[in-house]
Amino acid sequence: MDVLVTGGAGFIGGHLAERFVRDGHDVVVLDNFDPYYDVRLKEHNVEAGRAAAADGDGSYRLVEGDVRDAELVAELVTSTDVVSHHAAQAGVRADIDPRKYHEVNVDGTLNVLDAARGTDLRRVVLASSSSVYGTAQYLPYDEAHPTKPVSPYGASKLAAERYGMVYADRYNLPIVALRYFTVYGPRMRPGMAISNFVSRCANGEPPEIYGDGSKTRDFTFVEDIVSVNRTLLESDAADGETMNVGSGGTISIEELAETVRDAMAPELDLIYTTGYDIDAEHTHASVEKAGELLGYEPTRTIEEGVAEFVEWYRENQEWYEPLVRGE
- Residues classed as catalytic: 153
Q: Can you tell me whether residue 280 is helix, strand or coil?
A: coil
Q: Find, among 83, 126, 123, 131, the residue nearest to 106 by Cα.
A: 126
Burial grade of 118 (CB within 10 A; 0-12, 13-18, 19 or more)? exposed
Q: Give residues with Cβ within 8 angstroms of 229, minimum separation 6.
A: 16, 84, 125, 178
Q: Give residues with Cβ within 8 angstroms of 95, minimum separation 6.
A: none
Q: Give residues with Cβ within 8 angstroms of 166, minimum separation 6.
A: none
Query: Whole-angstrom Cα distance, residue 92 to residue 33?
Result: 19
- List residues bridging with 208 in a β-sheet: 271
Q: Find, among 284, 139, 278, 151, the residue nearest to 211 by Cα.
A: 278
DSSP output for 50-112? HHHHHHSS-EEEEEE--TT-HHHHHHHHTT-SEEEE------SS----HHHHIIIIIIHHHHH
Q: Give residues with Cβ within 8 angstroms of 7, minimum separation 6.
A: 13, 30, 31, 67, 85, 86, 87, 88, 127
